[in-house]
Chains A and B, each alone.
Chain A
Amino acid sequence: MKDYVKIIAIVWKDIISEIRSKEIGGSVLVFCLLVVVIFNFAFQSDEAAIGLVAPGILWVSFTFAGVLGLNHIFAAEKENSCLEGLMLCPVERHVIYWGKLIGSLIFMLVVEAIITPIFLALYNLPILLPGLALIIVLATLGFVSVGTLFSAMAANTRAREIMLPVLFLPIVIPVIIAAVKATGLILDGEPWGELWTWLQIIIAFDVIFLVISALVFEFVIEE
């Protein structure tokens, strides 16, 4: 069986189990929305200030929701001893990584696709922004690349819900910085020049950490 077939099998398994159990999708969505709303009260309702902090609010809410979603990737596997089952399959370890990565990427993108228009509407910002979609996809890819690795790690420790953010938030700080800056530029309608620098950072991060995470993943899930 080709590798990509195995990867699709893993992705499909995750999608089906999520659709059937509805364990995490709904609550992550609601949580994300709540964070967006609560941040509104954290800042004075000053029109000019909102423009400055809006990108930050969006990405903080994605980060928090992301941590919840990422925790789930391996927590459920661990609880039901499915991880051993996965490892018994005749697949190379990095195939599991790619499968889990794509599954959580799809999950995060669905959440973000729903939240972003609502967010833009709540803060009275222009809604149709293809550039924003590009940033969100690339930055989310960076998030889940290290997030999947650390989710597997945290699932095997005590206090796993808190270990994941502690482990992975410092690592994704460059992505958050770049994503917030780039989002701010897009919302202000800036030209592509400066935006490209930030996109380059996100893309570089994605490439570097996708490769590294895929390489070291096997060390994390081995028994």
Chain B
Amino acid sequence: MELRSKVPAGPLAEQWERHRSEIKLVNPANKLKHRILVVGSGLAGASAAASLAELGYNVACFCFQDSARRAHSIAAQGGINAAKNYQNDGDSVFRLFYDTVKGGDFRAREANVYRLAQISVNIIDQCVAQGVPFAREYGGLLANRSFGGVQVSRTFYARGQTGQQLLLGAYQALSRQIALGKVTMYPRSEMLDLVVVDGRARGIIVRDLVNGRVSAHVGDAVVLATGGYSNVFYLSTNAKGCNVTAIWRAHKRGAAFANPCFTQIHPTCIPVAGHHQAKLTLMSESLRNDGRIWVPRRKGDTRSPNEIPDDERDYYLERLYPSYGNLAPRDIASRRAKEVCDEGRGVGPGGHGVYLDFRDAIARLGREVIAERYGNLFEMYQRITAENPFEVPMRIYPAPHYTMGGLWVDYNLMTTIDGLYAIGEANFSDHGANRLGASALMQGLADGYFILPYTMGDYLAQGTLDKLDPAHPAFRRTQAEVSDRVDKLVAAGGRKSVDAFHRELGRLMWDQCGMSRTAAGLRQARDRICALREEFWRDVYVGGTGEDFNQALEHAGRVADFLEFAELMCHDALHREESCGCHFREEYQTPEGEAKRDDARFGYVAAWEFAGVGVAPVLHQEPLEFAAVHPAQRSYK
């Protein structure tokens, strides 16, 4: 396996422009002959499918939800970044680029990030044209707000539902292409394997979740826009259906998996209420603009928050990071919250919580302004906890939220398998070891609207692809393997439910491969995962049949893949003997408890090649070179 990043030569600011003028184009008549398979219909998938279809390609788009509109991008609350500099506060493409590289703790590829910052401005134009109802000023121009980890206001938003509105824009563009017959949509369809013929991705095997039918789909290229894998922790802010299956199966077929241990724990989520908990709910990071985070100074202080006077409160982020305060980046805010809770100063049931207090903002701006900014978030909080944030401070605690790791891709977003692309959260490319707020939506749409539609042409124009049909031996073989695995799961007659295995895996990953990690803990976790995986295949009970709508079976397949993937995650975390961004190894920290990077040894992307289940994967390194930004210790003090 060879990692060729294909970053164009020349100055950073000119690379994308030059690349676009140099890559090959597909003649319009030939576009009509190509069929592209897009898996996933979130921001990245829907925007890519719609844009490719607009260009003339025939597209088939698959999603496991009952409608393309329900992909988990819809749950993004806070906003989308763009270097428009509408606020005249000194923002620029370079600054967005710089903030993203620094925020990612110098573990992202410079060229990709610079391109992302350049494209960010086009995304806003495109979304406004589609009718996305962004927040506006009284003069009718677009409004902005600020977000964690930066000092300018560059975030565009639609109340607390930005992801929903952007997704509906992309979904509507996709719907238009469906009506025109350029996209065939397959809802309630789950990709269960990738078909590789002569080293090229040529199709996928899909299970219809309503009737259980397993079928093969042939294409000239395959695009995975299947999101992240935070559900490896069981409890996360991801939708229940989010999973690693598509990218994991692609990995098993030869796609390198990059930086799997870079997983983001979001600082502002509603704390766990009990053992019945099935998922965690995020409270938008934008709340940190006006909310102040604190815990009692004294351990075990059980007074109600409003009875604790100011001098007995510890506004620890403001104390530790005077210049960024409550807007410190996510990784830092999360780690510090864990720290104060571990000290015994946490609040709420079990002591796993810190306060996010709006008292001062309400006094300064008035209840109405706060209600307008965060009304729907406050309501959501109250529905879940039965507490009113206008009266008592919110309680928050970190939760798994986003995965920076994903399939390794080159500058064209192609994986190490020819013709297989990964876009959005499913790839690794832009966020390094930590993603800044409001950057996921930006990346998903940049990949889908403005990058992939160009770069895919370069691949398709280069060679002739054989005409294939599902009767080809590679398709039949892969389809048979998928069917066998489904049958094996259904036939498993053990005693433990799928959910029980998932919970156990999640607990293990949260404890040993979550917010802070140690070599001993990771080794222990790796051994336990192997044992748990064996136990799963021996002792799981699924029930029902494979020829039916069977949600336990869907879940079983996903958990089986998580049980293989989790081992890779621990392996990666163990090998990376440094702390950077969200990857915090307790052995490697500064005296102030900040992450201590080791650029000399680990200034690279770790891309892993699959070598077998339970077999140590093979490491490939893509060295990271920084021409425009000099790697320094991140400081938000």
Q: Do A and B come from one complex?
A: no
Binding site for A on B (CB under 8 A): none
Binding site for B on A (CB under 8 A): none
